[in-house]
Amino acid sequence: MHVILLGTAAGGGFPQWNCWCPACRLSRLDPARALPRTQSSAAVSADGERWFLLNASPDVRDQLGRLVRTAPEGMRHVPVAGIVTTDAELDHTLGIVLLREGRHLQLYATDAVRVILERDSRILEVTSAFAMVEVHEIVAERPRALHYLDGSASGISIEAFVVPAGPPRFAQNDLEGHTVGLTIRDEVTGGTCAFVPGCGELDAGILARLRSADLILFDGTFWLDDELITLGIGERTARQMDHLPIAGPGGSLAVLATLGGSRRVYTHINNTNPVLIEDSPERAEVEARGVQVGADGMRFEV
């Protein structure tokens, strides 16, 4: 199974358009030391030609260029076979609207995510005015095979699991299943990828899933719990925003460092996070513990 990190920044991208924090400032002045990144998304494929997006970011138009390596024949080409969502946040779903020119979209989502996309953000209503959107329900803890647009099996299955997090700010209700992680499995090789771009806590159930994965793409939003407060640009801690920080007491790095049987990669990294600086001590600490800091365009096979 082929896996590509299409975008590795949190909402707003890196550098964020209105931010001049130390990392964003350096990215503008010396981008080789702080590589720009688009907003979080990944893609998986069994054949390297037809891809399933893991979330659809507002930067999807530019990100899709990573999926097509040779010029296709014909006048139109859609490399996206489907979109799998982990939540209904805007930075993970606005790209659905931008894919409307595909004319036929498959969306895999929990019922809670579907309700939010229909009723609250109205992303499905807007997209459906331009394209046929098939919504396939994901039920937590139940494997679901992914199919191509013609109905044939892709050879890839997913299994969602609920992660600790709050619903989007604009959601009217706190519906169960509004935020999930994914285990993506290659049905031929048995290789698995855990995709968890947002997670407020690493409980025993989630940790068990990470232990069994060959590739872990995990929430790297903040370095410290009080990161935004210390910089003077926010009032909430990382945990209050439902993101487990990398460092500090109970941080994710200490846990991920113990999972030596898999490749571990941070994604969904906020623009304020110092791990985005290539030569920072924070980056060195992460890499010394055997964990990678994700960058746009990283490719893996599992």
Nearest CA to 96 out of 45, 63, 66, 57 is that of 57
The string of pLDDT tens digits covering residues 29-47 is 999 999 999 999 999 999 9
Q: What was the pLDDT predicted at 266?
A: 98
CB-CB neighbours of 69 under 10 Å: 9
For residues 234-252, b (16+ Cβ closer than 10 Å) or e, as one string?
beebbbebbbbbbbbeebb
Is the confidence at residue 71, as pLDDT, over 80?
Answer: no
CB-CB neighbours of 121 under 10 Å: 20
The total number of structural domains that make up the chain: 1
Is the confidence at residue 228, as pLDDT, over 90?
Answer: yes
Q: What was the pLDDT predicted at 73?
A: 78
Q: How confident is the model at residue 220 (pLDDT cuts 50, 70, 90)?
A: very high
Domain extent for 254: 2-70+77-296
pTM for this structure? 0.97
Q: Is residue 8 part of a domain?
A: yes
Backbone angles phi, psi at 22, to 5 degrees: -55, -40
Q: Is residue 301 part of a domain?
A: no
Report the CATH number at residue 86: 3.60.15.10
Cα gap 129→293, rounded to integer Å? 39
Q: How confident is the model at residue 123 (pLDDT cuts 50, 70, 90)?
A: very high
